Chain A
């Protein structure tokens, strides 16, 4: 302590580490125990138990019923509503995530330069992140309202549409509106994450690119993008996990509170279906089957992301 009072500027684990002899004191285990205990009881156990429930005829209120094997899963495959919900989930996920991350990249690129009052810009971009999903859904359901909504008003004012659009009525319009809510809430947050990664790119790389006469766009493609690749991958995976589980946005979009996702289930996501069967119809077994299918969908999409991202790895 007398020798050096400040840490080395690296966060890297230095060679000589703490000098307590390993494994002697139980205290370190006690320190990390609360997390593992809570995760085991309220995170891992319920997730695994879902599989058990899905193999039974199980009423949420009456409790465990007969063992039915894979019957709940077989029932899913014959359920047209399930296929609709699967499609809706993937469609809303793509519509909200892809433009969101591209926009975040663009915003980060704009922020990654010499700006006056840069903290103000950054803070403003982050504002949507603080707004609750309920508030977002309420505001946007007003903005996307058929009769008095600002969006219809603006589109009509610009002459782009003749008659007001009933945004909740159709598959595409409802998917677009819901994706808009998700995008609005998350773009700024992802932009700041990208910005942080961009600022860690050594400036000498930009300097030499500038000397070579590379344009800004070319520099972005050849220098910035490869450098922030791990961060890109991270945001893609996290957005995948979140984007495939959307609940509140579609649930609150039509204010019916029935988790049907519209008259023809046109915006019922898998999580809405899970809620409907689990907590409205009290068919916990069937709802758990939906859960596990959604779990597999998330795992598959995340794996596809990883594989796609790994492939063009250059030395």
Chain B
């Protein structure tokens, strides 16, 4: 497994450096490897399939109910009722409250994940303490534990702690994650030279100061990507909010699903809800697309 035993991780090939000497050879070979028209066509089909369901939601959400349901082969052209349908979403359900809840939960967990993960990542990458490698191994193993299966005792525990129905039930268990610790350890190891940590120590900075003034600025890029992904996971999560919150005080995903419930499904309303709920994440990820792509890929080679 690629993730096992990271401390002794040996890689048979030179790691990809973002720039520098490793690039010289590849570039020449790449030319031979240029993508032909067929490859472009296939990729176009793949990306069309990736985007189509979202485009389709947008199309349905922009029609009035009757016109979408008129024929068996619905139109692919957007209509003019998007704003109206979105207004109905907000009128018919507790969507504002759900949006607020989701922003709070996702925002808090994103910030705390970045801070706590980079703190642990700093310790694992740059500090020496007894049991470090063992503990790091434990972090990696927990990546593979299907904790969702403990949901019933988790529910009982959260209820006993008086957190049922409160946003803290969603926030507290998600304050820091194994993926985050693992990612940030890598980022610290690759971006912060030992010499810099040493220099800070020589200058009399304590560990916390070193963390704040040396480590945090040095891992900004990875931290951004981690923060966004944590936000997205919290925003998109469904299983746990369904269990830990009452339906009337839910998150966006709960409210979204309520749009679909009922004896008659109003697809224009439902898919307008999809558009509204997906928008914040899609915008953030589009703006930062370049970073996200390289973040996913950087995490992947090691992870």
Contacts and interface: CB of A to CB of B under 8 A. Distances in A.
Interface string A210-241: 10000000000000000100110110011001
Given A111-B43, A134-B238, A245-B149, A18 B194 contact: yes
A284 B149 contact: no
A192 B298 CA distance: 10
Main secondary structure of the interface of B (DSSP, over half): helix
Given A113-B39, A131-B278, 10 more contacts: A31-B211, A38-B172, A46-B147, A47-B153, A123-B290, A126-B293, A126-B296, A133-B236, A133-B253, A202-B13
A236 B269 CA distance: 38
A35 B116 contact: yes
Contact of B46 (A110, A132, A201, A287): A110
A294 B25 CA distance: 49
B25 A114 contact: no
Contacts of A189: 296
Nearest to A42: B173
Contact of A123 (B25, B29, B73, B292): B292
B11 A12 contact: yes
B19 to A, nearest CB: 9
A287 B151 CA distance: 10
Interface in A78-112: 107, 110-112
A66 interface: no
B243 interface: yes
11 contacts: A1-B199, A12-B9, A23-B129, A27-B123, A35-B176, A132-B281, A247-B238, A252-B257, A257-B261, A278-B152, A291-B150
B172 A42 contact: yes
Contacts of B194: 7, 14, 16-18
A280 B303 CA distance: 38
A41 B11 CA distance: 35
A22 B126 CA distance: 11
B72 A153 contact: yes
A141 B13 CA distance: 46
B16 to A, nearest CB: 5
Which of A50, A127, A133 has the most chain B CB within a 10 Å cutoff? A127
Given A143-B53, A248-B239, A271 B1 contact: no
Contact of B15 (A9, A29, A43, A203): A9
Given A35-B139, A130-B232, A45 B151 contact: no
Which of A14, A46, A49, A157 has the most chain B CB within a 10 Å cutoff? A46
B53 A140 contact: yes
Interface residues of A, number: 128
Contact of A298 (B29, B139, B146): B146
Given A1-B198, A42-B173, A184-B49, A196 B301 contact: yes
A120 B298 CA distance: 17
B186 interface: yes
Contacts of A302: 144
B60 interface: yes
A202 B14 CA distance: 8
A188 B51 CA distance: 11
Interface of B: 1-3, 7, 9-11, 13-17, 20, 22, 25-26, 29-35, 39-40, 42-43, 46-47, 49-51, 53-54, 56-57, 60, 68-69, 72-74, 116-117, 119-120, 122-124, 126-130, 132, 135, 138-139, 142, 144-157, 172-173, 175-178, 181, 186, 189-199, 201, 207-208, 211, 232, 235-236, 238-239, 243, 252-253, 256-257, 260-261, 265, 267, 270-271, 273-274, 277-278, 281-282, 285-286, 289-290, 292-293, 296-298, 300-303
Given A110-B43, A192-B297, A135 B277 contact: yes
B174 to A, nearest CB: 8
A55 interface: no
Interface of A: 1, 3-7, 9-14, 16-23, 25, 27-29, 31-32, 34-36, 38-39, 41-50, 52-53, 60, 107, 110-115, 119-128, 130-136, 138-143, 147-148, 150, 152-154, 156-157, 164, 184, 188-189, 192-193, 195-197, 199-204, 206-207, 210, 227, 230-231, 233-234, 237-238, 241, 245, 247-248, 252, 255, 257, 271, 274, 278-279, 284, 287-288, 291-292, 294-295, 298, 302, 306
Contacts of B175: 34, 38
Given A42-B172, A114-B33, A195-B297, A255 B260 contact: yes
Which of A11, A152, A227 has the most chain B CB within a 10 Å cutoff? A11
Contacts of A53: 152-153
A185 B8 CA distance: 34
A206 B20 CA distance: 20
B123 A203 contact: no
Contacts of B145: 43-44, 47
A36 B10 contact: no
Which of A3, A4, A113, A188 has the most chain B CB within a 10 Å cutoff? A113
